[in-house]
Chains A and B, each alone.
Chain A
Amino acid sequence: MSITEKENELVESFAIYDDWMEKYEYIIELGKDLPLIDAAHKKEENIIKGCQSTVWLYAEKKDEKIIFTADADAIIAKGIIAVLVDVLSNETSDTILEAKLDFIKEIGLQEHLSPTRSNGLVAMVKQMKMYALALKMK
């Protein structure tokens, strides 16, 4: 499935719920499917700065594809990183770097996160692209 297809699928899934409390329940559900970061990588240097909660993110390259794993101490943050991992994991560095991630706006995720948390979301995306760039060189 391409990034766009994955994004569309998410937009459709979120559209089912009218109420933002329900959308958050869905985000919490998605967090449960997050591919968890290996305990060995759950260290200071893999913490994403700029989030109100602690979010760990790790990436490795397998057959030219970037595989993300993550975890968070807050359930909603875990759900949000899970959404991003769902879209960006198992893609090539170039695809990740070029991804515009319009779905974030379409779902309304950004406007429903207060500025500090929206910064958290921006920080998550930025960190994922940094990984993609760093691993591209390897």
Chain B
Amino acid sequence: MSFDVKNIRKQFPILDTKIGKYPLIYFDNGATSQKPQAVIDCIQTYYTSENSNIHRGVHHLSQVATENYEHARKTIQTYINAKNDYEIIFSQGTTHGINLVASSFGKLLKAGDEILISQMEHHSNIVPWQMLAEERGLVLKYIPMNQAGELIMAELPNLLTTKTKLVSVTHISNALGTINPIAEIIQAAHKIGAKVLIDGAQSLQHEQIDVQALDCDFLVFSGHKVFGPTGVGVLYGKEELLNAMPPYQGGGDMIKTVTLEKTTYNGLPHKFEAGTPNIIGGIGFGKAIAWLEEQDLEGIKKHETDLLVHATEKLSEIDGIQFYGTAEKKGSTISFLIEGTHPYDIGTLLNQQGIAVRTGHHCTQPIMDFYQIPGTIRASFSFYNTKEEIDQFIIALKKAITMLS
């Protein structure tokens, strides 16, 4: 089906919302995406006629729920082209996936080993490594970035050493929109034997990733940013790595046998899925991916690029605007400040005009420190946004600036 924004918008009922007398203009897609009717219906159907616990019951409902949950795993496997469905571990989200790797892969590391992150990571790809480094005496290094918000790749060879065990970097920066050269990073890391985790929280909603072609060792992402429900995500890991890692949490579903003295663990993926999971989360996430696959992905990508170009052009005409993140390769996210105004004031007055943007440090304080600013205003677009919405946003922004000056 060729891309048609009007048709797409019809599938997202929330887009008809009014904020006061203004139609909602939702430009906070970096924080979370809206949900298509297909996903909303799927959640409703599950609770109306399929709700049951999975992997346990012999009864009909439990079998239906189990089948749907495992089908979702396969849908996601196919979408990211993982070799096996059991390499798809359902998590609670990106943050949880990173913490799982830090905790379990981390147990394989010893004092003096090095972990390499970047200067533009979300706090969730910084703090777990800092905690692990402190606990196990590891060295945490970072790839610096330049003023445009691009990683300084020339530094990479100096930062990768024989002690580097893991490189954990974001594919697309949530605060700046920068698309990082992850294929290049993976290649360089593998040359010295380091494993690579890709934070895909901001990328899978915009482009498809082939984990085998990319050859990343881990990929983490969240359901709610890819048109699925909140509270669910995926950790992809290569089979051999996941097998080598000890379990994360103990409980039901992750065991093979338990006596009061000793437990033997279940195989993948269950080893990392202790307890009753977020069943509807997983099923809804699978539905969201299946829905996405039916869309014209090339058309989506082109439309999002058009939105980015249009918004950048229009915003550039505003006096006193300063962009943060001007990388050559960017996703559909724009971070900016207006000279002489506070992002909080702009965000408040945009909200009064029905426009949802994010203001603040976007959980990336090291980026804000780098630019020596307290935060930015961030407009992040999805394919259901339109050029007309951007034009409305520019009018509202100008009105806010007038009121504040």
Contacts and interface: CB of A to CB of B under 8 A. Distances in A.
A4 interface: no
A21 B353 contact: yes
B352 A20 contact: yes
A73 B349 contact: no
A54 B332 CA distance: 30
A24 B348 contact: yes
Contact of A77 (B344, B351, B374): B344
B2 to A, nearest CB: 38
Interface in B363-405: 374-375, 399, 403-404
A108 to B, nearest CB: 11
B97 to A, nearest CB: 26
Interface string A113-128: 1100100000000000
B359 interface: yes
Nearest to A77: B344
Interface in A1-59: 20-21, 24-25, 28, 52-54
Contacts of B345: 53, 74-77
A105 interface: no
Interface in A52-80: 52-54, 73-77
A21 B351 contact: no
Contact of A24 (B20, B342, B349, B359): B349
Interface string B339-363: 0011011001101110000011000
Given A52-B359, A53-B342, A53-B344, A75 B352 contact: no
B352 A117 contact: no
B365 to A, nearest CB: 14
Contacts of A25: 403
Contact of B344 (A20, A21, A24, A76): A76
Contact of A114 (B342, B349, B351, B374): B351
A52 B341 CA distance: 14
Interface residues of A, number: 17
A54 B20 CA distance: 28
Contact of A52 (B20, B352, B353, B360): B360
A73 B342 contact: yes
B403 A74 contact: no
B36 to A, nearest CB: 25
B344 A74 contact: yes
Contacts of B342: 53, 73-75, 77
B20 A20 contact: yes
A24 B399 CA distance: 12
Contacts of A53: 342, 344-345
A73 B343 CA distance: 10
Contact of B349 (A21, A52, A117): A21
B64 to A, nearest CB: 38
A112 B349 CA distance: 10
Given A20-B20, A52-B360, A112-B352, A117 B344 contact: yes
A28 B359 contact: no
Contacts of A117: 344, 348
Contacts of A74: 342, 344-345
A98 to B, nearest CB: 30
A24 B348 CA distance: 9
Contacts of A112: 352
Nearest to A72: B342
A53 B345 CA distance: 9
A24 B352 contact: yes
Contacts of A75: 341-342, 345, 404
A74 B400 CA distance: 13
Contacts of A20: 20, 352
Contacts of B352: 20-21, 24, 112
Given A24-B352, A53-B344, A114-B348, 10 more contacts: A20-B20, A21-B352, A24-B403, A28-B404, A54-B374, A74-B342, A74-B345, A75-B341, A76-B349, A117-B348
Top 8 nearest A-B pairs (CB, nearest first) are A74-B342, A74-B344, A53-B344, A52-B344, A76-B345, A74-B345, A20-B352, A75-B345
29 contacts: A21-B349, A21-B352, A21-B403, A24-B348, A24-B349, A24-B403, A28-B403, A28-B404, A52-B344, A52-B359, A52-B375, A53-B342, A53-B344, A54-B374, A74-B342, A74-B344, A74-B345, A75-B342, A75-B345, A76-B344, A76-B348, A76-B349, A77-B342, A77-B345, A112-B352, A114-B348, A114-B351, A117-B344, A117-B348
